[in-house]
Amino acid sequence: MTRFLRSYFHTERDALRGALYHTVRAGHLVADKAHHVDRETLAGHELVYCLRGGGSVRVGGRTHRVKSRGLYWISCWHPHSYRSDAADPWELYWVRIDGPGLDALAKILRITDLPVFPTLDDASVKSCFNEIFDIFDAPSPASPARMHASLARLLAMLYESRFRDVADMDTLTSVPSALERPLVRMRQHYADPLRLADLSALAGMSVSHFIRTFKRSMGTSPIDWLRRERISQAKRRLIDTDEPVKEIARQCGYRDPYFFSKDFKKLTGLPPSSYRERERGARPI
């Protein structure tokens, strides 16, 4: 039988959810040979560290092996499963977390394709998890900030592990110098009616060459990138301000509030007002 040596639950205050990393579930277990989890969706992200033994995790239709001193990261919003090795069941520390920017960080670290971080410093990872457990065992007014700091330290380890090779980091961040001026214009003036002819002129390219170069470097077309940047800015303003949706649409480059709402729902799955309500504390736990 799987034994839970520690098990914690927590619901963070609404005012802090959008500002700090927080843990909604955590624990320490010693699994039996039948231990497994299969889920369609759940709020948050799980970071699971294998202390000993082994097992496997399945995400995106692919199965990945997890060994001792390996950590796997799962975005619980998507279907996933993991199971212990029947011949050598694992012992795990785990946290389920949420907070600002986690989806974006998960994308940067490519966790859908590479969910396992195979060789981490054992003492450092254990230290982070034990700090988290200690915060639950002895709560204080500073607990939310301390929890954020411990999770940030753990995430920093994962970031460093994934991009230990400088060449990998260069691949992630490299943008052709010719695109720097158009990208600055698009980031700083996303609300303006930008024209492809003007952006390509900033790059010193023809429109067709600019579109091809931009798509090859950024993974999408200039128009789609600008559209997503506008929606990203709108998401931030919906959460951080009480301004009407119509005004936020105008601030983000949409002259037609109806078209803004339609575009917003297409990219996020929710109308702007529903998105604001969810992100301010109505998300499921």
Name the band, by pLDDT with cuts 50, 70 and 90, for residue 240.
confident
The closest alpha carbon to 249, from 276, 223, 221, belongs to 276
Dist CA 90 CA 67 (whole Å): 8
Dist CA 21 CA 152 (whole Å): 8
Which of left, alpha, beta for 44 (phi over 0: left; psi -120 to 50: alpha)? left
Residue 105, helix vs strand vs coil: helix
pLDDT the model gives residue 174: 59
Name the band, by pLDDT with cuts 50, 70 and 90, for residue 170.
very low
pLDDT the model gives residue 230: 95
| Strand 54-59 to 45-52 pairing | unpaired
135 vs 165: which has the higher pLDDT: 135
The closest alpha carbon to 263, from 248, 277, 241, 282, belongs to 248
Q: Which amino acid is at 36?
A: H
Q: Which CATH entry fits the domain spanning 3-168: 3.60.70.12, 3.40.50.2300, 2.60.120.280, 1.20.120.1200?
A: 2.60.120.280
Question: What average pLDDT does this structure show over 54-79?
Answer: 94
Q: Are 84 and 36 in contact (CB under 8 A)?
A: yes
pLDDT the model gives residue 115: 95
Domain boundaries, the chain: 3-168, 175-282
Check whether 163 has a pLDDT greater than 60. Answer: yes
On the question of a common fold for 3-168 and 175-282, the answer reads no
- State which fold the 175-282 domain adopts: Arc Repressor Mutant, subunit A (1.10.10)
- Kindly state the tokens that stand for 251: 């601030």
Check whether 53 has a pLDDT greater than 50. Answer: yes
119 vs 46: which has the higher pLDDT: 46
pLDDT the model gives residue 122: 95
Render 142-174 in DSSP notation, one character per residue: THHHHHHHHHHHHHHHHHHHHT-SHHHHHHHH-
Check whether 25 has a pLDDT greater than 60. Answer: yes
User: What residues form DSSP beta bridges with 49?
Assistant: 71, 93
- Kindly state the tokens that stand for 112: 């859908």
Question: What average pLDDT does this structure show over 19-48?
Answer: 94
Please tell me what DSSP assigns to residue 278.
Answer: I
Question: What average pLDDT does this structure show over 63-78?
Answer: 94
Q: Are 136 and 27 in contact (CB under 8 A)?
A: no
Numbers of helices and strands, H then E, in the chain: 12, 10
Write the CB contacts of 204 (distance below 8 Å, at least 6 apart in sequence): 178
Residues 81-110: pLDDT tens digits? Answer: 999 999 999 999 999 999 988 988 998 888
Dist CA 276 CA 279 (whole Å): 5
